[in-house]
Amino acid sequence: MTLNLSDYLIVLSSPRSIASESFRSLRTNIQAAMGDGLKSIAVVSSWGGEGKSMVCANLAAAFAQLFFEVVLVDCDLRRPTLSRLFGYDKHRGLAENLYEGGSVEDLIVQTDVRNLSFLPSGKVQGNPADILAGNRLGAALSELASKDKFVVVDTSPLSACSDALMIGTHVGGAVMVVNPERWRGDVEIRLKASLVNHNINVLGVILNGVDANEGSYGYGYGYGYGYGYGYGQGYGQGYGQKPAKKSWSIFPWSKKSK
Ligand SMILES: Nc1ncnc2c1ncn2[C@@H]1O[C@H](COP(=O)(O)OP(=O)(O)OP(=O)(O)O)[C@@H](O)[C@H]1O
Ligand SMILES: [Mg+2]
């Protein structure tokens, strides 16, 4: 499938859409949740295809619109969608930094979007978990954040590997994307608990693909679901951890609705 940057960056291509509005509101909520500690955030989810990369790119672009200097980091070393999307899938990037050390700043590229730069995934030899587990990942992410940049990190699905757990321990917070159509319940709750058990600050759950066109169903479902997940089931399961504090809905969009 050919990837198209403007299809992805809905906040730029269609700023008045309902989806863009939800990204702006997500941005505000993240700012409020993290205050001055707002330095880096990872976007995680249980399954592939739930919309992590899409949320990541749009969230990064939404922050860039506030004149934050934002670096989008493609830490999905298994399926580097964003590197392909931005046209840097053959470039050196995070992987090379993790192998070789040195400054990660040199590997950042500018994008066409104002205030938004990008760190490609680079080329992995062997298992991504091995390089993510080393101590260079933390150094790389904190180097970026220390340059007054807000760092937004894309990850691989939690059900497939523990990469996102390793990444999550090096960022200020994580948001978990959930697609209601993929929801199984037991798996998502367990994976969210494992984030919390790794001391990852789970800021909230993003319900991706809740259909705004279905009127009260869309809203009712989104709210009930998010509430049930964050406060009801998550808490009720007795993990002894704080549940996700918030849920936000990102509506699906299509070219027609732009
Ligand atoms: N709210 C939405 N409205 C319309 N299309 C969406 C929405 N969310 C995601 N998509 C589309 O769904 C597909 C999967 O999204 P994306 O690549 O962001 O998922 P992912 O979680 O990063 O998957 P992977 O784990 O495989 O990297 C993409 O084509 C994306 O454009
Ligand atoms: Mg992805």
Looking at the CA of 8, which ligand is closest? 1
For residue 41, pLDDT over 60 is answered with: yes
Contact assessment for residue 92 and residue 83, using Cβ atoms and an 8 Å cutoff: no
Ligand 1 pocket, residue 157 CB under 6 Å = yes
DSSP state at residue 103: -
Ligand 1 lined by 182 (C-beta under 6 Å): no
pLDDT at position 236 is: 25
Helix (H, G, I), strand (E, B) or coil at 181: helix
User: Residue 100: in which H helix or E strand, if any?
Assistant: helix 94-100
Q: Is the CB of 68 under 6 A from ligand 1?
A: no
Q: What is the pLDDT of residues 84-109, one digit of tens each?
A: 999 999 999 999 999 999 999 999 99
Quick: pLDDT tens for 231-257: 223 222 223 333 344 566 776 554 333
Q: What is the mean pLDDT of the chain?
A: 83
Q: Are 248 and 206 in contact (CB under 8 A)?
A: yes
Which residue has tokens 């860039």? Answer: 64
pTM comes to 0.86
pLDDT at position 144 is: 94
CB-CB contact of 64 with 116 (8 Å): yes
What pLDDT sits at residue 133? 96
CB of 232 closer than 6 angstroms to any ligand 1 atom:
no
Count, in order, helices (H) and strands (E) of the chain.
12, 8
β-sheet bridge partners, residue 152:
41, 72
Q: In the prediction, which pLDDT does 37 show?
A: 82
The residue whose CA has the least distance to atom 10 of ligand 1 is 51
From the CA of 43, how far away is ligand 2's center (Å)? Answer: 10
Ligand 1 closest atom vs CA 79 = 27
Could you tell me the distance, in angstroms and rounded to a whole number, from the CA of residue 80 to the centre of ligand 2? Answer: 7
pLDDT value for 211 = 60
DSSP one-letter code for 104: S
pLDDT at 152: 97
The alpha carbon of 105 and the centre of ligand 2 are apart by a number of angstroms equal to: 23
pLDDT at 123 over 80: yes
Q: Which of 9, 17, 54 to mutate to test the pocket of ligand 1 (most atoms within 8 A of CB)?
A: 54
Ligand 1 contact via 222 beta carbon (within 6 Å):
no
The pLDDT of 23-35, averaged and rounded, is 90
Atom 16 in ligand 1: which residue has the minimum CA distance? 51
The string of pLDDT tens digits covering residues 190-233 is 999 999 999 999 998 999 886 655 433 333 333 323 322 332 23
Distance of CA 188 to the CA centre of its chain: 16
